Amino acid sequence: MNITGQGAYDTGTYTNFFHKLGFEQYEINAKLEQTWNELFYGNENTRIYYPMGEDKGYLLDTGNNDVRSEGMSYGMMMAVQVDKKEEFDRLWNFSHTFMQHAEGRYKDYFAWHCKPDGTRLSQGPAPDGEEFFAMALFFASNRWGDGAAPFNYKEQARRILRACIHQGENGEGDPMWDPETKLIKFVPESPFSDPSYHLPHFYELFALYADESDQVFWREAAGASRAYLHTACHPVTGLSPEYANYDGSPAPVQPHGDFRHFYSDAYRVAANIALDWEWFRKDSWQVEQSNRIQSFFSSIDVAEYRRYTIEGEPFDEPSLHPIGLLSTNAMASLAADGPHVEHFVRLFWNTPLRQGERRYYDNCLYFFSLLALSGRYRMY
């Protein structure tokens, strides 16, 4: 596959923003190592990783006291990025053993959350988990090589992606990507999407590593997601809703809540757009969009972050994950070229990990931003 552009895929060079702003490499390396150690082996008010027995482990959603496919796949991506094979294998073994369906309408998908002992709380999947599982497994295969099942990483990733596209073609179940629009769904049964699930930079790589018969689909999905984000992000504020229809408009109010506004899920959109620009540089709109989101938040103190309409009107409700939002605003610097880049990168550097009950989601986004701004969120 010939991928054009001047991103890291072509150059092999990843931007180290902290170094550009004058931080020494030893400081950057130490901050990464310390953050990993705090998240995985720190005190009970900070850590989110817990080993289980001889060969498993999990990331705990500390706000909900459950284990999510989101967090498990995030933990695997963190581990492969910093070359921590033991933790990766423990997380994957837990996920494969307790969360992945072996049969039925969700075969090869993952139950989206379970108890820390592995008991499923729901059977249905959340597609952001599947795409992160697959990408982390491909990177593990390329970085460490494949072992015996279930550590035959590449085949495990291909199995997941096969289900994501083809589930239901020969019987029960639904695919995770809408066959007509090639857009990822909120859940397999839903007729709408979640803008924060769109990872065109992953799909470009799936087009290299997935089953050969599906590679054209993934190339098209990457283009479809890039175009979709133009419609889901507000043209002035840059804010996007948590759930959106296939035309990018906010999805209707759901039985489980109102997700038409800029809130927790939507924080990830800025990070995803920026990483796509860093890796592939295929859509110059991503620069403008990253400038917009940084401009919107440039005059708002982190302690004052709130829920917002996509037009930018604040609600009385404060952000549930302000450190997560700061992290993604900072990660937008990978693509932004406006006047607020240094402000957000320095503010992020000087902000510690969140502690306490709600730390899980914030600190996952924090670690990804730390990797990205260090030039360490890489393709393998």
Residue numbers annotated as active site: 70, 265
Q: By CB neighbour count within 10 A (0-12 exposed, 13-18 middle, 19+ buried), where does 311 fall? A: exposed
Under a CB-based contact definition with an 8 Å cutoff, are residues 151 and 137 in contact? Answer: no
* Residue 354: closest CA among 369, 340, 344: 369
Question: Distance between alpha carbon 146 and the CA centroid of its chain, in Å?
Answer: 24
Q: Which two tokens stand for residue 148?
A: 């015996």
Spatial CA neighbour of 197 closest among 279, 244, 128: 128
What single DSSP character describes residue 93? H
In angstroms, the CA 290 to CA 273 distance is 8
* 150 cis-preceded (ω within 30 degrees of 0): yes
Answer yes or no: are the C-beta atoms of 379 and 9 closer than 8 Å: yes
d(CA 27, CA 23): 7
Residues 51 and 58: their CA atoms lie apart, in Å, by 6
DSSP 247: T
Q: How many CB atoms lie within 10 A of CB 174?
A: 16
Are 167 and 179 in contact by the 8 Å Cβ rule? The answer is no
With CA atoms as reference, report the closest residue to 352 among 374, 378, 322. Answer: 322
Q: Which of 330, 304, 73 is nearest to 202 (CA)?
A: 73
How far CA 179 is from CA of 130, 212, 217, in Å, comes to 17, 18, 9
Residue 192 corresponds to which tokens in the numbers above?
A: 């709408």
Evaluated on CA atoms 137, 88, 348, 44, the torsion sign reads: positive
Residue 252: strand, helix, or coil = coil
Structure tokens at 131: 């795409």
